[in-house]
């Protein structure tokens, strides 16, 4: 997970450049680009696993 400050900086840079959206971080950008090309069931399973890891770190 990215630190909030890094996400805010990326968002503000995109705003200054009149970009409609930004996906900060290489891994996030790759996932955002590939997600529409993956089966929905796979994307859902990955999102579930990531969310659980973030909300309940072991």
Domains of the chain by residue range: 25-58
pLDDT in tens, 1-46: 789 999 999 999 999 999 988 999 998 899 888 888 999 999 899 8
49-25-17 Cα angle (round to 5): 135
The conformation of residue 1, written as its DSSP 8-state character, comes to -
Task: List CB contacts of 35: < 8 A, sequence separation 6 or more.
Answer: 43
Alpha-carbon distances, residue 20 vs 11, 23, 30, 56 (angstroms): 10, 11, 18, 32
Q: Identify the pLDDT of residue 22.
A: 94
Tokens of 31: 């996932």
Contact 14, 22 (CB under 8 A): yes
């Amino acid at each position: 997970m990215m630190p909030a400050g890094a996400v805010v900086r990326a968002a503000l840079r995109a705003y200054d450049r009149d970009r409609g959206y930004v996906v900060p971080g290489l891994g996030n950008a790759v996932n955002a680009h590939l997600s529409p090309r993956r089966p929905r069931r796979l994307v859902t399973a990955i999102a579930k696993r990531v969310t659980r890891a973030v909300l309940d770190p072991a």
